[in-house]
Each structure stands twice: as structure tokens, then as C-alpha cells.
Amino acid sequence: MRVLGVDPGLTRCGLGVVDGGKGRTVACVAVGVARSPQEDELATRLLTVATEVERWMDLHQPQVVAIERVFSQHNVRTVMGTAQVSGVVALAAARRGLPVAFHTPSEVKAAISGSGRADKKQVTTMITKILGLAEAPKPADAADALALGVCHLWRAPMMDRIARAEARAAEAARTHRAKLKAAQEKAQRTQGPRTGGRTR
């Protein structure tokens, strides 16, 4: 499976393409960032990022796009920019019929380093080792994008199993409700109509 990991950001949007093989085997295909000038208007900046992201999608042909889920921060302006870029990326993926998966920062950190509280430096160090890179990806946004790709590759099988288990449970519940309803209706037909009052 080939995954495009995206660490959304308006000034720097991290991009990383990772291939997954048997077991937990992973390999780096490409890594970089999509940048937009801070002096540009918002719409222009989003278009700049979107154009580069779409170029990566068309060039590397990922099978799924993994995006970091936006979470609450103190800087509301930063959160808004991040959320807007996430939407642009998800839209670009949808236009190409690509599934989109969102992973929280703690999920990515736990998958890569074993700790959901790891800092960016630890994540960069671990992703460099995991992918056997000659040097650490820079800036940190690029390393985070690769980490997102690897996180999805390693979590996807578990997520699929959970989804299938939930689907089976939902189907079993529907079947149980249908059988229960049928039994109640049969019981009502067997009892026949009830008459009120006393006989003399």
C-alpha cells in the first residue's frame, strides 16, 4: 500500500509518501513540503498549497491519504489555517477517489516512538531510523508527514479488523431485532384477538 502522509499547515504543509510491504516493512518514496508566502491572501495561499498537494497525488499515485487530525491549540489562528488546509487536502483526495484517514498527533507519536507524549525531535529521530534514511528529514513538518504515513500503514490492519468487528456486531444486532420482532408478531397472532367484558 502507498500512503501520502500530510502534516497540514498554511506556511509549511509537510508531505511524505511511504510504501508498505509485508509485516511492518516500510520504505520512503518521497518527502518534502508545500509552502505558501505569508504575505499572500488566504485564498491564494490555500490554492498554492492545494496545487502542490495535487501535483504530489498525481505524481506518486497514493492509494490512501493520511492527514493529521486538527486538535485544540492556544493559537486559534494557527488552528484555523491548519483546519482549512486539511479540508483542501481531503477535497483533493476525494476528487481522485482516494480514501482519507485522520490520525491524532498522539496516535502518530505512539505508533512511531511507543509514547504518545514524544516530542518532535524524538519522532524525527525514530522515523529516520525506521525508514533507514541517511539523514533526518527537514523541516520537522516533512518528518511528521512521513510519520503519518507509517502510522497509517501500521494502524490500518488493526483499524480494518475493528471496522469488520463493528460491522459484524451491527449485523448481529439487526438480525436479533428482526427475530425478536418476528417472534412477537407470531405470539400475537397465536393469541388471537382479545375480548373484553364478562360472559353471563
Q: Which residues are catalytic?
A: 7, 68, 141
Evaluate whether 62 touches 19 at the Cβ level (below 8 Å).
no
Q: How far apart are alpha carbons 136 and 129 in whole angstroms?
A: 9
Q: How far apart are alpha carbons 105 and 131 in whole angstroms?
A: 19
Q: Looking at residue 117, what DSSP letter applies? A: T
Residue 119 in marked binding region: no
Residue 135 in marked binding region: no
Residue 160 in marked binding region: no
Evaluate whether 31 touches 145 at the Cβ level (below 8 Å).
yes
Evaluate whether 10 touches 18 at the Cβ level (below 8 Å).
no
Q: Which residues are annotated as a binding site?
A: 7, 68, 141
Q: Which residues are annotated as a binding site for Mg(2+)?
A: 7, 68, 141
